[in-house]
Amino acid sequence: MLKKFIEELASPNSSLTTTAPQSEISDPDNLTDLYNVIITVDEQNSITNQEIIRRNYSFREELENMFDRFKSVYRECKAQRMLIKEVTKQFPSDLSKNTIEKRIERAKDL
């Protein structure tokens, strides 16, 4: 499940795009148009932030499930190392171990 979640996060998703197309601004000197674009982008940003929170929550739940499975077989310290090892296998290879550990810790703090 974690692998599927990571693939989903890595894939581009047009519904999460927060930039407004330039064509929405018919007259850059028209403050009403500019204000409306700002409001639209701000609403899109709010939706994106909510989506990020939901995805982080799902990520944390899956990490907890994996940790519980490891903990049922190993001691807590070894289970933590096994979790990091498993996450490292599934994350992109260009991420450092430190970055992965920080990501796991952030997910736990939610």
Q: What confidence tens digit (pLDDT) does each residue in 24-51 have?
A: 666 667 788 888 888 999 999 999 999 9
Q: Count of residues for the chain?
A: 110
- C-alpha–C-alpha distance, residues 42 and 19, integer Å: 10
87 close to 79: Cβ distance less than 8 angstroms: no
Residue 68 confidence (pLDDT): 95
The mean of the pLDDT values for the chain is 81
Task: Name the pTM for this structure.
Answer: 0.61
- C-alpha–C-alpha distance, residues 35 and 55, integer Å: 30
Residue 18 confidence (pLDDT): 46
Q: How does pLDDT run across 67-94, given as a tens digit for each residue?
A: 999 999 999 999 999 998 999 899 888 8
* pLDDT at position 12 over 80: no
